[in-house]
Chain A
Amino acid sequence: MIARWVDLWDERETAESLALVRILIALSVLGDLLQARMRSAVEAVWAPPPFGAAWGASAASPPLLVSWFGTGAQTAHVAWWLAVVATLLVLLGLAFRVSGWLLVFAMVEMWRLTPDGGDGIDLLLRVVLPLLALSGANATWSCDAWLGRLWGKPLRNSVPAWPRYLLIVQLLWLYFSAAHHRGKASWGPAGGFSAVADVLGDPHFARFFPGSLQAFYPLTQLGTALTMVFEYSAPLALLWIWLDKRPGRGGRFGDWVRRLHVRWWWLALGVSLHLGIAVTMQIGMFPFAILALYPALFGPEEVTKLLKRVRQSSFVRQS
């Protein structure tokens, strides 16, 4: 049993899934940072008072950026540029061993400057980015791999799979935890599944004026119910993944799961819920950064096959 457990964390695979997560996470973070700049929010979020709301600058042990650059507005711009440069390097997979940790450092410093700024996605990134930095996510689709080939370095045919496995566990735990924290009746039948409609009635979150989507109330009820089903069933995704990975296992139940593509239906539900959130609520990068983790739920061979299919279909359309 212990030997199998050790073997599980010793598994290796090609790097496509992790590389895609790296690229998509970096795109999400970059988009968010550019939003901060375009919305003139850089100083408001990360500059120490009175230039901004970064009250963490006056903590007993202030962020390193404050020690180095002082308590002026320039600290906010240094933090922002540091994060942007690190994110770009991670996106390109350039000097990833260093840039991955540089991005971790930037995200932690930003949190220290404004401890209650941001939301759950920032916390999730502070968990996910160190895992990515430790992974071989730069072994493919990266400048590091390209430069390695150019300089005749031996190709890395495989990378450790454990960072991807931990990303899966983290994502599924996030869903399950979110579900069991929703004690309010509005998330269940006793409250008429009204939670999503309630959120859309909150002027601080609604993308459209509250009440303007009232005609779609039954749809929001369905969305609430499906959200709870999706999130409570998240731990089962481990079973769906395992059964898909090992054809012939799981007996008749396994056959049934594979034949009905249960994992794919679960994933499609997740994607559609996040896209629904992105369309109807103003919560920034949250749905995109979560979806950026979805490639971790696929094996590298599946990612390659999927991308090949996408390329072929676009080639067919073009020709």
Chain B
Amino acid sequence: MNRAWRSLRAAIITLLLVLGFVAGWPKIAPRIIAGLPPWLAQLAELVPVVQRAVLRPFAPLANAFGITTQNWTLFSTTGGIRHRLYVEGREPGGSWQLLHRAQDDEHAYLRETIEYRRLRPIWNPHRYGLAEGYVPFTRWLARRALLDFPRLERVRIRQEEIEILPRGAGFRSTGHFVNRREYSRAELLP
């Protein structure tokens, strides 16, 4: 094979490795930076600036392949306060009925669909909060429930904050709900 081509290929691969390495520089949380000596904190604050500057020219190519990062945050936050999804419906003049709750065999409406791995990251809050797709997801879910249960007038989707118990003992309900979305039949099925 042509020597120039071999060298070019090695250069392209080297560039890919360097870009991958830079894209993989860890995000340093502000609370960690706050605890560093001033000179190190300044250096840490420079990391994302340099990272962005190096990667910017190649961003269109990375975007074409959907390669958004080389930071692999797999189960980086565990324990503490987590969430449990609730889907509820209400008939005219009635009270809220539980249709779906995570890990609840008696209220398992659409469990297989909701728990599909590509949907879960949309509704399960992660370290940076809720996914952008959460509202479209809740609108889809509420619309689907209204179609499946013609007597329902309203559907709400919310998440209970739960506390993970120590030593593998499971979790404890807190009774505190967040990320609540509520829809009426008139709104979704005019």
Contact of A53 among B9, B83, B85, B119 (CB under 8 A): B119
A216 to B170, CA, bound (A): 12
Known: A166-B13, A198-B79. Contact between A210 and B170, CB under 8 A?
Answer: yes
User: Are the CB atoms of B71 and A126 closer together than 8 Å?
Assistant: no
Which of B37-45, B51-59, B62-70 lines the interface with chain A? B62-70
Check A173/B20 contact, CB under 8 A, given A53-B137, A130-B65, A198-B78: yes
Which B residues, 68 to 85, have Cβ-Cβ distances below 8 Å to chain A? 68-80, 82-85
The 0/1 profile, CB within 8 Å of A marked 1, for residues 146-190 of chain B is: 000000000000000010111111110000000000000000100
- Give residues 4-26 of A contacting B (CB, 8 Å): 5-6, 8-10
Q: Which residues of A, 174-196, contact B by the 8 Å Cβ criterion?
A: 174-175, 177-178, 180-184, 186-187, 191-192, 194-195
Contact of A50 among B120, B143, B169 (CB under 8 A): B143
Please judge, given known A-B contacts A6-B10, A204-B84, A204-B124, whether A45 and B102 are in contact too, CB under 8 Å.
no
Taking a contact as CB atoms under 8 Å apart, the answer to whether A209 and B168 are in contact is: no
A108/B64 in contact, CB under 8 A: yes
Partner of A116, one of B26, B78, B115, B131: B131
Looking at the assembled complex, report how far the CB atom of B30 sits from the nearest CB atom of chain A, in whole angstroms: 13
- Segment from A33-41, A145-153, A239-247 that makes contact with B: A33-41
Q: Which residue of B lies closest to A39 (CB)?
A: B112
Q: Report if A209-B103 is in contact (Cβ < 8 Å); known contacts: A39-B116, A49-B140, A183-B29.
A: yes
Interface of chain A: mostly helix, strand, loop or mixed: helix
CB distance from A301 to the nearest CB of B (A): 23
Q: Please report the total number of A residues contacting B with Cβ < 8 Å.
A: 81
Chain B residues near A220: list those with CB within 8 A.
168
Question: B66 is contacted by which of A44, A111, A286 (Cβ under 8 Å)?
Answer: A111
B171 and A45: CB pair below 8 A?
no
Q: State whether A211 touches B66 (Cβ < 8 A).
A: no
CB of A123 within 8 Å of the partner chain: yes
For chain A, residues 150 to 173, give those with C-beta under 8 angstroms from any C-beta of chain B. 162, 166, 169-170, 173
- A95: Cβ under 8 A from any B Cβ: no
Contacts of B120 in A (CB 8 A): 119, 204
B84 contacts A55, C-beta separation under 8 Å: no
Residues of A close to B133: CB separation below 8 A: 53-55, 114-117
Could you say which residues of chain A place their CB within 8 Å of the CB of B107? none
B118 in contact with A201 (CB, 8 Å): no
- Interface residue? B132 (CB, 8 A): yes
Please give me the residue from chain B that is nearest to A12 by CB atom: B1
**Per-residue interface assignment for chain B, residues 1 to 45, with 1 indicating a CB less than 8 Å from any chain A CB and 0 otherwise:** 100001101100110110010001010010010000000000000
Pair A44/B119 contact, Cβ less than 8 Å: yes
Looking at the assembled complex, report how far the CB atom of B99 sits from the nearest CB atom of chain A, in whole angstroms.
Answer: 15
- Is A51 an interface residue when CB atoms closer than 8 A count as contact? yes
Chain B contacts to A: CB under 8 angstroms? 1, 6-7, 9-10, 13-14, 16-17, 20, 24, 26, 29, 32, 64-80, 82-85, 102-103, 110, 112-113, 115-122, 124, 131-133, 135-137, 139-141, 143-144, 162, 164-171, 188
Residue contacts A-B, CB under 8 angstroms, 24 given: A35-B117, A41-B112, A41-B116, A49-B139, A50-B139, A53-B119, A117-B118, A117-B122, A122-B118, A123-B66, A126-B66, A127-B67, A130-B65, A166-B16, A173-B20, A173-B70, A177-B72, A181-B26, A198-B78, A211-B170, A211-B171, A213-B168, A214-B167, A216-B168
Q: Could you list which residues of chain A lie within 8 angstroms of chain B, going by C-beta atoms? A: 5-6, 8-10, 32, 35-36, 38-41, 44-45, 49-55, 104, 107-108, 111-112, 114-120, 122-123, 126-127, 130, 162, 166, 169-170, 173-175, 177-178, 180-184, 186-187, 191-192, 194-195, 197-204, 206, 209-214, 216-217, 220, 282-286
